[in-house]
Amino acid sequence: MTPRMDQRLAICPGTYDPVTLGHLDVIERASRLFDTLVVSVTSGASKKRPMFSIGERMAFVQESVGHLANVEVTSLNELVVHHAEKLGAVAMVKGLRAISDFDYEFQMAQINKHLSDGIETIYLPASPKYSFISSSGVREVAAWGGPVDDWVPPNVAAALRARARREKTTG
């Protein structure tokens, strides 16, 4: 995908393991700021092994953003700035839930700026109703059979319930 010279493309990278309503809120808001927004689902190589495969995570995101005409979903398995450059992005959009997120994201923005001066980092604060939701929290509650329907799209809630049932019967 190569954007036209008159178009502003941004990426919204993350593991999305799983995608939450907080992620989707940031994606929807960012989609109004750019001509094209590419949600780049990372393999998660530098973190612990994700619960869902990259294919599952991409499908969850794709189903959830299908109503947004200017949003595309792709995978990411390289330095995020190299990925952004290949796509012709002018910015990376990151959501922030709390000041602790900012500390980490600010450090990453400085590293990324050093690696590629042409890519800006844009922060969107979480909407208050989603500011406490994290993928790790969702996974933890779901693993214990707790309700997560208010925090994730329906397709993700169903997948989490199915995963919990399988692990309960095999565990």
Cite the active site residues: 23, 47, 97, 135
Give the closest residue to 91 by CA, choosing from 35, 9, 1, 2: 9
Q: Please name every residue paired with 92 in a beta bridge, in sequence order, or none if there are none.
A: 11, 121
CB 18 within 8 A of CB 160: yes
Distance separating alpha carbons of residues 49 and 43, to the nearest angstrom: 9
Map residue 122 onto helix, strand or coil.
Answer: strand
